[in-house]
Amino acid sequence: MTGLRARAALLAMLGLVAAGALAFMAGTAWAKKETPILECVFHDTGTGQFNSLWGYNNSSGSSENIAIGENNNFSPSPENRGQPTTFLPKLNDNVFVVTWNGTGSLTWNLDGHSVSATKSSTPCASNPVPVAGGGPWYLLPGALVLVGVAGVGFCCRRFDLDLGLRRTSRT
C-alpha cells in the first residue's frame, strides 16, 4: 500500500508542478498585454457633457503599436476617440480625455481588455478638458516653454543687431 501512496503523492506533486507552470505561462502572456485604465469622470455642468480621463499600462517592456480597430476601439462608436496607437512601456497616466453625453457607458476595448466609464465612475477633482481645446493637452506646458525660449532668443538677437549698428569704428 505504501508504494501506491508514494505513486499517488508523486502524481499529485507532478500535477501541481504542471498547474503552476501553466499558470506562470498564462500570467506571462497576460502581462504582455496593454491594459486600459479609466482614471476618472467629470460632469461639466456648463456643457452638460461628461469628460473622462484615460491612461493605460503596458507591462511588455517595449513600445507596442495597436492600430484603431478590432484591438483598440471605443464603444459605442465612433471607435476612434483620440486614444493612442503607440503604447509606451509601464504605467501611463493622464494620456487623453474623451467627452461624451453620459448616456449608458463608454467602453475602451484594448488588446483583449476593456474598461467602462459611466456617470457614477470615480469623479475627477477638476475638469480634465484640454486647455488648448484638443490634441494631447499634456504637451501645452512644454510648448509654452519653447515659445518663451524662442522669444528670449529673438529679443537677444534683435538687441545684438541694434548694438552692432550703434558701434563706431576705430581706425
Walking along the chain (171 residues) 10 residues at a time, the average pLDDT comes out as 57 45 42 85 95 95 95 97 96 95 96 96 89 44 48 49 49 51
Same domain membership, residue 48 and residue 63? yes
Q: Do 84 and 146 have their domain in common?
A: no
Residue 33 is predicted with a pLDDT of 84
Give the pLDDT score at 6: 57
SS3 132: coil
Number of domains forming the structure of the chain: 3
Instruction: Note whether 1 and 45 are same-domain residues.
Output: no
Neighbours of 94 (CB within 10 A): 14
Answer for the pair 114, 76: CB distance below 8 angstroms, yes or no.
Answer: no
Looking at residue 143, its pLDDT comes to 45
Hey, how many other C-beta atoms are within 10 angstroms of the C-beta on 162? 9
- Does one domain contain both 79 and 46? yes
pTM > 0.75: yes or no:
no
pLDDT at 34: 93
Domain that holds residue 145: 136-171
**β-strand pairing of 113-117 with 106-110:** antiparallel
Whether residue 46 sits in one domain with residue 122: yes
